[in-house]
Amino acid sequence: MYARSRQHGVTLIELIVFIVIVGVALTGMLTVLNLTGRSGADPMIRKQMLAIAEGLMDEVAAQPFTWCDPNDPAAATAISAAVCATPEVMGFEAGETRGGAVTPFDNVNDYNGLAGISTSITGTAMPAGYTAAITVAPSALGPAASLVPAAASLLITVTVSFNTENLTIEGYRTRYAPNSLP
């Protein structure tokens, strides 16, 4: 003989109370999530802005960083701007245009101050409503012990705008060697 163990299950009332409490809690949580999602920035627009900014950053960083304008015969050998007939100065040189057929932008610094960008370098329009601006500035890079001086380091800042939203990314481009063209 053995004693019958007393079993204690869940009554219907207890089950219903449980379901009601979980239901109310879930509704509250979902409402908060929904409000957060609605008031946050549209992720599609942010991704689009980031893609545009990164594309422009790549375009600028891929440019040469030389003392002389690359059309200057001294460009390949110059180790300072003093020997250049046409030194590369901040901003584009006279006649240069972005992606131009004859005298295109040919240095990182040529992009400084470019605003209202709405196309790629080949002229393809960016998605409607997006614009971009670029600044380039000498900026020392790294710790004091191994500092890249401002003369050999440029800070590139790309800002993409859509309505009232802005997205900014920054990147550095350093001079690979004083007298090399790239």
Chain positions contacting Ca ion, by CB under 5 A: 88, 93, 106-107, 109-110
Q: Tell me how far CA of residue 17 lies from CA of 14, 22, 27, 113, 156, in angstroms.
A: 5, 9, 16, 66, 61
Minimum distance of Ca ion from residue 108's CB (angstroms): 8
Residue closer to Ca ion (CB basis): 103 or 179:
103
Residue closer to Ca ion (CB basis): 52 or 117:
117
For 64, the token pair is 């040469």
DSSP code of residue 94:
T
Minimum distance of Ca ion from residue 41's CB (angstroms): 35
Residue closer to Ca ion (CB basis): 107 or 153:
107
Contact 152, 146 (CB under 8 A): no
Q: Tell me how far CA of residue 109 lies from CA of 59, 131, 164, in angstroms.
A: 12, 20, 28
Minimum distance of Ca ion from residue 169's CB (angstroms): 22
Residue closer to Ca ion (CB basis): 54 or 93:
93
In the three-class reduction of DSSP (H, G, I as helix; E, B as strand; rest coil), residue 58 is classed as: helix
Minimum distance of Ca ion from residue 78's CB (angstroms): 14
